[in-house]
Amino acid sequence: MALAYGAPVATPVGSQTAVTLTAVDAETLSGGVQSNFDGNGFYARIGFTRAANWTGPNPLGGEFRGFDDPNFLPIATWLTDYGDLPAATAYRRMDDLGLNGMLPASGAINLADLITYGKWAVVTDESHPAGSISTAHDRGVVGVSCGEEPSTQLQYEMIRANADSWLRSPAGAGRFHLYNFADNLLNGDVAHTYFPKDMVTGWTPSDGPTRSRRQYTACDQYWYAGSGPGDLGSNRSKLHSRLYFDEFTASGPASTDQTARGCHYGSMMDSIRKRFAESPNRLPGGPIAVWIEAAAPYEQPTSRAMTPAQLTWAVWATLVHGARGIHYFVHNFRSGDKWGAAFWDDHFGGPGVPGTGIYAAAKSVNRRALRIAPVINAPFDGYFVYGDSTHGGAISTPGFLTAVTSTNTRSKYAGVDACCKWQPTEGRHYLLATTREAETSKNVPITCRMVDQGQTAAVPVFGGSAISIQRGGTIPGGFCEFSDTFAHAYDYKCWRIE
């Protein structure tokens, strides 16, 4: 997993060379090449043939050729149900937004539409029992969800058993199981019989290859929605303790200001990944997903509705921390609201409709992520982020990127997070970054130090002037640096090193 780092490799392509590569989650490295770039990606390697063989249109042009395609990112919504919208309108919105799948689909979705419009879905065993996927529809169905968010030992075991049964049915061949958690993936179940390390896969080698190790692990903790005042104060305590484990210290629960930061969605990636590293059942691992709310998912009237700035901040934070997809919870449950699900209700915006700006923000960040999908799907070559307190907080693993600094030292509530990716097809390094500062902070600096390979510029991928790379002075020999500024704490960055 991404917390176990490999030995230096020499992979000269063009003018840059990989330094210390680390495979992204569920991939492997061989000879300095990551498995998905070598035609041996996770889905094909583990036997998830429905996902490996799925095809669908890339909104940027061309076609996705399976989940192992380095140009592919799963961009999906939870329990997708487009309400009263006609199917053609809903799928046009999916294309416009850059959404390509449903994780899972509600029982109201006509699976034939997946084939017509080139989308994929995970189904629930409630709406589609074992053996019920027809040959006509199975090209679009890549997996199943057999329950979610277990909070007791019995619930956990029932989900495992149901998944095992479904996957062993004729409809289960080549499909994975989506196992979605909430608090329990971070702290274990309420009976304390299972701890997080026991829950990440639910598989041991003696179980055989068809059991529920076939897993796509997801977790939701709605940081922004749960950061409101009043009757959501307990949510701030919950969120704080689940990731940082200090609810009983003098620091107390996080404040609204501390909780309402997109960076926490990224830190969850490492908190979940740590459970894989702890688990004796972790192999073969699997993709990790963090749900990002696009509306107001809590019923309390003080539940916050996600802002466009927070949404893009949260999405990019997960990508900085190694996510290989974008996952939205779009349902709106806040008391007193009259609107429905984000993306399907024009209150949040839509084609030609400004709304709250959520639609436009999601469209922008989704398409930007697809634009650099081969970077997101590429191995790390340096990783500097904040995880959780039981990590010791800061995670610093040098490679080509050797240091990341800001005015404030990286912590739960300060500094910056950044990672470096080695894009082997181009033979270039890319850096992705977000801040950990308060939402109101402005002009947050970042300085990135790299191994000197003769590079001259850091080019902002999404617009802006090239930044000259500096040497000499206080910079040690053999290294070089560039500096940039986040105009607002919620801004996000991607630079190509040339």
Per-residue three-class SS string for the chain: CCCCCCCEEEEEECCEEEEECECCCCCCEECCEEHHHHCCCHHHHHCCHHHHHCEEECCCCCEEECCCCCCCCCEEECCECCCCCCHHHHHHHHHHHCCCEECCECCCCCHHHHHHHCCEEEEECCCCCCCCCCCCCCCCEEEEECCECCCCHHHHHHHHHHHHHHHHCHHHCCCEEEEEECCHHHHCCCCCCCCHHHHCCCCCHHHCCCCCCCEEEEEECCCCHHHCCHHHHHHHHHHHHHHHCCCCCCCCCCCHHHHCCCHHHHHHHHHHHHHHHHCCCCCCCCCEEEEEECCCCCCCCCCCCCCHHHHHHHHHHHHHCCCCCEEEECCCCCCCCCCCCCCCCHHHCECCECCCCHHHHHHHHHHHHHHCHHHHCCCEEEEEEECCHHHCCEEEECCCEEEEECCCCCECCECEEEEEEEECCCCEEEEEEEECCCCCCEEEEEEEEEECCCCCEEEECCCCCCEECECCCCCCCCEEEEEEEEEECCCCEEEEEC
pLDDT computed for residue 214 by the predictor: 60
Please report which confidence band the pLDDT of residue 5 belongs to, taking 50, 70 and 90 as the band edges: very low
Assess whether 404 and 297 both reside in one domain.
Answer: no
User: Which of these three, 373, 395, 424, is where a domain ends?
Assistant: 373
Assess whether 182 and 210 both reside in one domain.
Answer: yes
Exposed/middle/buried for residue 464 (C-beta within 10 Å: 0-12, 13-18, 19+)? exposed
Which has the closest alpha carbon to 358: 306, 315, 317, 319?
Answer: 306
Average pLDDT value for residue range 335-357: 96
- What digits encode the pLDDT tens for the residues 395-448? 999 899 999 999 999 999 999 999 999 999 999 999 999 999 999 999 999 999
- What digits encode the pLDDT tens for the residues 264-300? 999 999 988 888 777 765 555 688 999 999 999 999 9
Distance CA 243, CA 222 (A): 12
Distance CA 52, CA 223 (A): 33
Burial pattern 373-410, b for ≥16 Cβ within 10 A else e, equals bbbbbbbbbbbbbbbbeebebebebbbbbbebbbebeb
User: Which of these three, 326, 354, 373, is where a domain ends?
Assistant: 373
CB 268 within 8 A of CB 259: no
Of 166-170, 350-354, 437-441, the poorest mean pLDDT is in 166-170
Residue 474 has pLDDT above 80, yes or no: yes
Domain count along the chain: 2
Residue 49 has pLDDT above 60, yes or no: yes
Of 39-43, 214-218, 322-326, the poorest mean pLDDT is in 214-218
Q: Token pair for residue 297? A: 């998912």
pLDDT computed for residue 10 by the predictor: 41
Residue 203 has pLDDT above 60, yes or no: no
pLDDT computed for residue 235 by the predictor: 78
Please report which confidence band the pLDDT of residue 188 belongs to, taking 50, 70 and 90 as the band edges: confident
CB 418 within 8 A of CB 432: yes
CB count within 10 Å of CB 301 equals: 14
Assess whether 297 and 427 both reside in one domain.
Answer: no
Distance CA 334, CA 390 (A): 34
Q: Token pair for residue 16? A: 């840059």
pLDDT, averaged across the chain: 89
Residues in the chain, total? 498
CA angle 327, 329, 331 (to 5 degrees): 155
CATH number of the domain encompassing residue 355:
3.20.20
Assess whether 345 and 402 both reside in one domain.
Answer: no
Residue 3 has pLDDT above 60, yes or no: no
pLDDT computed for residue 127 by the predictor: 97
Please report which confidence band the pLDDT of residue 213 belongs to, taking 50, 70 and 90 as the band edges: low
Residue 228 has pLDDT above 80, yes or no: yes
Assigned domain for 340 exists: yes
Assigned domain for 288 exists: yes
Assigned domain for 108 exists: yes
User: Which of these three, 373, 393, 414, is where a domain ends?
Assistant: 373
Assess whether 155 and 238 both reside in one domain.
Answer: yes
Of 196-205, 331-340, 438-447, the poorest mean pLDDT is in 196-205
More confident residue, 46 or 128: 128
Average pLDDT value for residue range 377-392: 88
Assigned domain for 83 exists: yes
Assess whether 279 and 414 both reside in one domain.
Answer: no
Assigned domain for 20 exists: no
The angle that helices 308-320 and 358-371 make with each other, rounded to 10 degrees, is 20
Assess whether 94 and 156 both reside in one domain.
Answer: yes
- What digits encode the pLDDT tens for the residues 56-106? 999 999 999 999 999 999 999 999 999 899 999 999 999 999 999 999 999
User: Whole domain around residue 484: which residue ranges?
Assistant: 378-497
Assigned domain for 416 exists: yes
Assess whether 91 and 214 both reside in one domain.
Answer: yes
pLDDT computed for residue 190 by the predictor: 67
Residue 205 has pLDDT above 70, yes or no: no
Assigned domain for 312 exists: yes
Assess whether 426 and 442 both reside in one domain.
Answer: yes
Residue 249 has pLDDT above 70, yes or no: no
pLDDT computed for residue 251 by the predictor: 63
More confident residue, 321 or 157: 321
Q: Token pair for residue 375? A: 């970077």
Assess whether 168 and 284 both reside in one domain.
Answer: yes
Assigned domain for 360 exists: yes
Assess whether 84 and 146 both reside in one domain.
Answer: yes
Assess whether 331 and 418 both reside in one domain.
Answer: no
